[in-house]
Amino acid sequence: MSSGVSGLQITAGVMHLSGDYTHATVARHLAVVETGEATEVERIDLSGLGRVDSSMLGFLLAFKRRAVACQRPLDIVSWPPGLVELARLYGVRELF
């Protein structure tokens, strides 16, 4: 289970996310997308997530946009049930 502190680690094309991803923490991780540090990411593993809010959807959408722009595959795995419900509520689940 998560410790609450958000973390991001990239290993062999897989981004592992851990901890809480809320409005208070997502912005600092968005820099990974904006600086292009994660251009080789083909899979995002959400199994280590704690609390999430709609900001997490923005984070995932940013990665999805980058993958589409670069014509690269992106697989997002181990969705927490609460995040699936948020994605459905906002009408973006089918984008992933």
pLDDT confidence of residue 4? 64
What CATH class has 7-95? alpha beta
pLDDT confidence of residue 27? 85
Total number of residues shown for the chain: 96
Single-letter amino acid code for the residue at 53: D
- Among the listed residues 75, 82, 91, 94, the one whose alpha carbon sits nearest the alpha carbon of residue 56: 82
Residue 21 and residue 57: Cα distance in Å, rounded? 10
pLDDT < 50 regions, the chain: 1-2
Q: Enter the pTM of the model.
A: 0.88
Residue 69 and residue 25: Cα distance in Å, rounded? 25
Domain range summary for the chain, segments of one domain joined by +: 7-95
Q: Label residue 34 exposed, middle or buried (CB < 10 Å: 0-12, 13-18, 19+).
A: exposed
pLDDT confidence of residue 66? 86
pLDDT confidence of residue 6? 83
pLDDT confidence of residue 42? 92
